Amino acid sequence: MNKSQNYITGQWIEGTGEGVPMFDAVTGEVVALSDTEGLDFAEILQYGREKGNALRKMTFQERGNMLKKLALYLTKRKDAFYELSYRTGATKVDSWIDIEGGFGNLFANASLRKLFPNQSYHVEGDPIDLSRGGRFMAHHIMVPKKGVAVHINAFNFPVWGMLEKCAVNWMAGVPAVVKPATNTAFLTEAVVKEIIASNILPEGALQLITGSARSILDTVQSQDVVTFTGSAVTGRLLKSHSQIINESVPFNMEADSLNASVLGEDAVPGTPEFDIFIKEVRKEMTVKAGQKCTAIRRVIVPENLIEDVQIALGKALDKVTIGDPRLKEVRMGALVGKDQVTEVKECVEEIAKTAQLVYGHLTDVNVIGADAKKGAFLSPILLREDRPFENMAVHEREAFGPVSTIMPYKNLDEAITLAQMGKGSLVSSITTNNDRIAKDYVVNAASHHGRILVLNRESAKESTGHGSPLPSLTHGGPGRAGGGEEMGGMRGIKHYLQRTAIQGSPTTLTEITGIYQANAKYKEAEQHPFKYHWEDIQPGMSLKTHKRTFTDTDIINFANLTWDHFYAHTDITSLDGSIFEKRTAHGYFIISAAAGLFVYPNKGPVSANYGLEDCRFLRPLYHNDTVYVRLTCKQKVDRDVAGAEHPSGIVKWFVEVFDANDELVAIATILTMVQKKQETFVEMTEEKIQECLNKLTANMKPKWGRMSPQHMVEHLEYTYRIASGEIQDFEIKTPEKILEKVYNSLYNYDKMPHDHMFPLAEASKIEELKSDNLEEAIIKLNKARNSYLEYFKENPDATLKNVVFGDLNRYEWYLLERKHLNHHFEQFNLL
C-alpha cells in the first residue's frame, strides 16, 4: 500500500512508521497510508522561518502576481484533482466548490496587490501630525511577521481549506506549514505536489504534513500564527496550549457552528421567498453531504408556517439522489468516512431525545451505483423541535452531516433570540421581501454572527448562498464559532503583518514609508517630472512652477464655460455676510489653473490623467491674486494592464498651491498614468537589423526550434510580405473569443513564446528553402521590409490583416516587428 508523503525542509519524505489508512468514502477501500512518524516538527517550523526571508523580501505586487500565476497553473491541472475528490465522497458540484473555489481564493487575493504599495511592507492609514510646526509626525507601517503560519485544517475542504488560508499568508509575505485532516489529506497532497513542481513559490513558502502532528504546537514562537478549522471542542483545547499562551502566539479559530436560517413572516407559501428558502435549506443540507461549517443546522420559521415548511422540505429532499458521486444523476455523495457517520448518528439521537425526526432514517439509505454497506452513506435527516426555548440540545449539539432541525417562532424578536441561542455562528440568513424585517433582524442579530445573508426575489439569482464564504468578506464568528476571522480581503492579510507606529520628521518618514509626507524636504527634479518613466519617479521628487495671476476675466470666463454661476463668482453685490471679500475664483478653476502651471505639454511617459483625490481649498482666492504650484511625487501604485496599452503604473502627485506670500491656499492629490520603461526588446532600427543579419552565418544553430538560419530569414521575408499587403489571402487563425486578448499582447513587454508554430507554416512552405543561399535570402528579406515601410509611408492610416493578431495599423505592425525580430535574432544569438 502506498504511503502519503510529507513535503518538509525542501523534500518529499515518508514517515518511518506503519501508517494510518485513509479510506475511499464511497467504496471503503484504503486509498493510502498516512505516516508522520520520525518527523521533527521543531525543525520543520524553523526551516520555514529561515527560508521565509525570500517571501518576505518580495513586494506585494510580486506576491500577487505569484498567486495569479499559481492559480492559472493549477486550473490547467484541475481534472486530476476531481478524480481524487470523488474518493472523499464529494460530487462534481461539491468538488467544484473545494477545488476551483480554492483556486478562486488565489485569484481573489492576487488582485489585492493593487491595494498595497509596491514594496514588501504596507503603510496603513493617514499620517498623524504630532506637532504644531508639522516637523514631528507619525504613521503606521505593517511588516510581515518573521515566523510561519501553521494551518490545522478540517477534512471537509482539503483544497479550499488550504488555499483560502495560504493565499492570505503568502500575500502578507509569511510562509505556511499546512496540516490537513488525515482522512482527506491525499487530495491536499496531490495539489501540493503540483504546487511544488511548478517552482512558482520560493522554497520554504509551503510545507505539508499529511498525518498526525500532535506536538506541532510545542515549539511555535511569538512570530508564528496558528489557525485552526474544526470542532469547537478541539479548537478550545489547542487554543489553551501552554506554548500558545506563553509565547502569545496569535491563534485564529474557525469552528463548526449551529448556523441558523430564518423564514420571514411575509414569506408565505406561494411567494418567491418561500420557494427560495426551501431551496436554500435543501442545498445547505445536501451539498458536501452537509459537512460544511457554514451549513444550515437550525431552520427557524413562523409557527403558523411550520407544517408548510416541513412538507415542502420533505418533498424537496425526496428529489435528492444519493450514491456514487461520479454519476451525473447523483446529487449527494457520501460522508467522509464511517466514523463520521457514527458520530452524526450519535448527535441526531441526542437531539431526538426532545425533537421529532420528521424526514429520513438513521439506518436505511437508498444509493445509486454504490454499496450502502461499504460506503459512508447517510440519508438526509430533518428534525422538528417544537419547544426550542426549553430544549437546549438543538442549540448545543451539532450533527456534522446532512442534518437540520426546524423550530417555530411567534414574532421576530423570538426568531432573533433563537438565532442567538446558538452562542455564536459563522453565518445566519433571513429570507424576506420586507426590508424593514430584514433591517430589524440584521441589526439585532449581528452581534452573534460573522456574516448575515438576506435573500429575496431580487438577490436570489445572483446570490452566492448561505454557505459560501467569499475571499473579500470576513469568515469567522463570535463565541462558539471561535471568535476568529479569515479572508476578508485586506483585513485577512493584516493578520499576518505586525503593525508598528513610526514617529519622526516628515522627511524621515517619507523615506521609511515610501510615501511623501507633507512638510518633508523636496527632492528637486533635474528635469520636469513628467519626462520620467514610472520606474525613475521617486516619492519626494518635486517641481516648483512659475507664477500666474488670476484676472476678473478669468473667473467670469470659467463661470460661462462651466455654467457654474455660484454667487461668489458672478454676483459681487451679494457678498455681505459671506466668507468672501470680493469676486472669488472657482475652486475647480484653481485646480485647473494649477494643472496649467505644472503640466508638461510634450508627448512623454505620462499617458493620461487618472483622477483626483483629497482636494482641499484652504482659503478663497480673488481676482488679481498670484499663485504658483509645488508638484511633488507622493506615491507610486502599480497596476495591471489588460487592454491595448503599454505597461504603466499610477503616480500620485501632491499638488500644493501657494500665493505670492508663500501661504498654502489649496492642496490636492492628482493621479497620472505613467508608462514603464521598455527594456525587454532592442529597438529594430535599420542599422541594428543589418548588424544582426551581418552576424548570421549558414552553420549557426538555434537556441530553440528546428529552423536553420536561412529558414528563419525566409520566414521573416514572408511575414514582411504580409505586412506590406502583398499577401492577404488568408483567414485569421486566432479564435474570436481570445483574439482581443492576443491582439492586446502586442502592447506588453513580454517576449514571444518559444517553439510556437507559425499558423501559415503550410501555406508559406516554411520547411522548403526558396533561395539558393543565405545571402540571397537576406537580400529578399531587405527588399520585403522596404516594401512594408514604403506601404505605410504612402498609406499611414491603413490597417492590414495579420494571421495571429488580427487587423493592425502602422504602429501595431511596428510593435509586432520589434517583438518578432527580437524573438528570432535572440534565437540565433544575434543580439
| DSSP one-letter code for 219 | G
Cβ contacts of residue 505 below 8 Å, gap of 6+? 135, 136, 137, 520
Q: How far apart are CA 154 and CA 25, in angstroms?
A: 16
For the chain, the straight-line distance linking the first and the last C-alpha, in angstroms and rounded, comes to: 55
Q: How far apart are CA 243 and CA 215, in angstroms?
A: 11
Report the candidate in 142, 122, 148 with the shortest Cα–Cα distance to residue 247: 148
Task: Return the pLDDT at 523.
Answer: 92
Q: How far apart are CA 785 and CA 726, in angstroms?
A: 12
Amino acid at 187: L
> Which contiguous run of DSSP H or E holds residue 635?
strand 626-638
Question: By the 8 A CB rule, do 163 and 471 touch?
Answer: no
Q: Which residues pair with 3 in a beta bridge?
A: 33
What digits encode the pLDDT tens for the residues 1-44?
A: 688 899 999 999 988 888 888 898 989 899 888 888 889 999 99
Q: Which three cell numbers stand for residue 349?
A: 439521537
Task: Return the pLDDT at 1.
Answer: 67
Q: What are phi and psi of 30, to 5 degrees?
A: -80, 125
Distances 612 to 321, 592, 605, 713 between C-alpha atoms, Å:
57, 11, 19, 51
Task: Return the pLDDT at 765.
Answer: 75
Q: What are phi and psi of 35, to 5 degrees?
A: -150, 120
Question: By the 8 A CB rule, do 26 and 207 touch?
Answer: no
Plot region of 592 (φ>0 → left; ψ -120 to 50 → alpha; else → beta): alpha
Report the candidate in 316, 330, 387 with the shortest Cα–Cα distance to residue 356: 387
Task: Return the pLDDT at 581.
Answer: 82
Where do runs of H (alpha helix) occur along 227-337?
232-239, 242-246, 272-286, 306-318
| Beta strand segments in 5-146, E | 6-8, 11-13, 20-23, 30-34, 122-129, 137-144
What SS3 class is residue 71? helix
What SS3 class is residue 638? strand
Strands 606-617 and 548-549: unpaired
Task: Return the pLDDT at 117.
Answer: 86
Question: By the 8 A CB rule, do 806 and 743 touch?
Answer: yes
Cβ contacts of residue 813 below 8 Å, gap of 6+? 723, 788, 792, 800, 802
Task: Return the pLDDT at 258.
Answer: 93
Specify burial of residue 637 (Cβ count, 10 A radius: 0-12, 13-18, 19+): middle
Q: How far apart are CA 189 and CA 22, in angstroms?
A: 13
Report the candidate in 181, 162, 28 with the shortest Cα–Cα distance to residue 98: 162
Distances 772 to 653, 769, 781, 783 between C-alpha atoms, Å:
61, 8, 14, 16
Q: Annotated active-site positions, please?
A: 254, 293
Task: Return the pLDDT at 658.
Answer: 95
Task: Return the pLDDT at 323.
Answer: 93
Question: By the 8 A CB rule, do 820 and 716 touch?
Answer: yes
Instruction: List, for the chain, all residue ranges whose pLDDT scores fall below the cut of 70.
Output: 1
- Axis crossing angle, helix 810-827 with helix 709-723, rounded to the nearest 10: 180
